[in-house]
């Protein structure tokens, strides 16, 4: 049966009230008694995927993905969490914060989940091979300031002025800024990066078995594609502001116009690589896009949607999905378009808008900000409700 193809305006408040209650969220990690020493049964790493290649008579390896794991001594959840970082970052984005606290990897390991943190191929401890990957893409400090260090200063989108959670001034020479800027890494250009990471991710799922995908930003397509390739192994997707919006990218130009349509980066709506639609799609040009007549609100992007009748995404209909959106992020202006696209395709995600839970002032880089534990607790509670623990 075809699912209802609307967002339902109160879906976030109504569904989340049942999970979290009506009071602003707090985190148990704020109570040191609930954050004891991390007791692990195993801790280590391995590489998966990739193949050897000959370059000027010498042998190198490319396409491999570094995987770091933490297995708690008391594992109370049946499915491990695979953490996939975003653009120009590495798995370090999940294992610590810019002000020296533990990251989400430790948070979930402490709560009984086995966690697997990856460095995408060509990133961090997954070595870069230029002859295979091509010229690298680099990040710079000024872009970071505009996007999440000092976004209220640049004010390129309407919600930018709400930012309050970065643990520092955002100035380039600030110690917290040095931590985040120092973690930037050259990366394989998009969408080639998706091809290499997806190949390794499928092998990782085959090795681990049923798992939870927790993805962020440029890592977002890895969640959708993993669920596409191994729908029986992906038990849930937690998409923390994944790549978007569908249809066309958005350029942020500041007041008074705020938004300008960009080019096509995700020809299949959620990913740059083929994904199973019903009716089938042999070429992304077969997906017909229409631009809505007007935005849902003055501070929101006008969405591009499928022309009706919309093609369905049967594999993504098979697992629970949570989409996390921060109040001050540039994603706050367009994540509703991702939800609309999923709804049209018969997929009903739980859209968690953090501000609805009293968690305010966060940027796109929320797992590095002052209240990162509070956001981790939101995800923890959603997973506990969706995929209950076992003894």
Angle, CA of 166, 167 and 169, to the nearest 5°? 80
User: How many CA atoms lie less than 13 Å away from 99 in the CB half-sphere?
Assistant: 14
183 is catalytic: no
Helix (H, G, I), strand (E, B) or coil at 212: strand
Closest CA to 38 of 104, 125, 91, 98: 104
Task: Exactly one of 126, 217, 329, 372 is catalytic; name it.
Answer: 217
Closest CA to 382 of 103, 85, 111, 117: 111
Helix (H, G, I), strand (E, B) or coil at 356: helix
**Can you spell out the DSSP letters for 109-159?**
HHTT--EEEEE-TTSTTS---HHHH-SPB---HHHHIIIIISHHHH--SGG
Length of the chain: 391
- The catalytic residues are 217
């Amino acid at each position: 049966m075809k699912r209802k193809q609307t967002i339902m305006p109160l879906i976030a408040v109504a569904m989340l009230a049942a999970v979290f209650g009506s009071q602003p969220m707090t985190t148990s990690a704020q109570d040191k008694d609930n954050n004891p020493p991390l007791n692990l049964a195993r801790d280590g790493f391995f590489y998966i995927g990739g193949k050897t290649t000959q370059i000027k008579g010498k042998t190198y390896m490319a396409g491999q993905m570094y995987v770091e794991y933490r297995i708690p001594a008391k594992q109370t959840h049946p499915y491990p969490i695979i953490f996939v970082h975003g653009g120009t970052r590495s798995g370090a984005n999940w294992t610590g914060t810019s002000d020296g606290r533990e990251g989400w990897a430790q948070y979930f390991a402490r709560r009984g989940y086995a966690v697997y943190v990856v460095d995408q191929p060509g990133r961090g401890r997954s070595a870069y091979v230029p002859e295979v990957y091509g010229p690298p893409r680099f990040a710079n400090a000024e872009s970071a300031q505009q996007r999440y260090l000092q976004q209220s200063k640049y004010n390129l989108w309407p919600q930018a002025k709400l930012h309050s959670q970065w643990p520092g001034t955002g100035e380039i020479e600030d110690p917290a800024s040095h931590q985040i800027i120092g973690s930037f890494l050259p990366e394989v250009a998009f969408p080639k990066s998706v091809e290499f990471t997806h190949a390794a991710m499928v092998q990782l799922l085959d090795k681990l078995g049923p798992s939870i995908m927790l993805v962020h930003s440029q890592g977002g397509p890895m969640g959708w594609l993993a669920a596409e390739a191994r729908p029986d192994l992906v038990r849930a997707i937690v998409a923390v502001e994944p790549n978007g919006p569908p249809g066309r990218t958005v350029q942020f130009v500041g007041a008074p116009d705020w938004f300008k349509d960009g080019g096509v980066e995700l020809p299949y709506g959620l990913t740059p690589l083929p994904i199973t639609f019903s009716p089938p799609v042999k070429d992304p040009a077969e997906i017909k896009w229409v631009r809505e007549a007007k935005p849902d609100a003055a501070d929101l992007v006008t969405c591009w949607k499928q022309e009706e009748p919309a093609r369905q995404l049967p594999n993504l209909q098979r697992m629970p999905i949570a989409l996390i959106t921060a109040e001050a992020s540039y994603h706050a202006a367009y994540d509703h378009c991702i939800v609309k696209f999923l709804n049209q395709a018969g997929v009903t995600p739980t859209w968690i808008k953090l501000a609805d839970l009293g968690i305010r002032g966060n940027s796109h880089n929320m797992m590095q900000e002052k209240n990162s534990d509070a956001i981790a607790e939101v995800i923890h509670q959603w997973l506990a409700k969706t995929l209950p623990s076992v003894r």
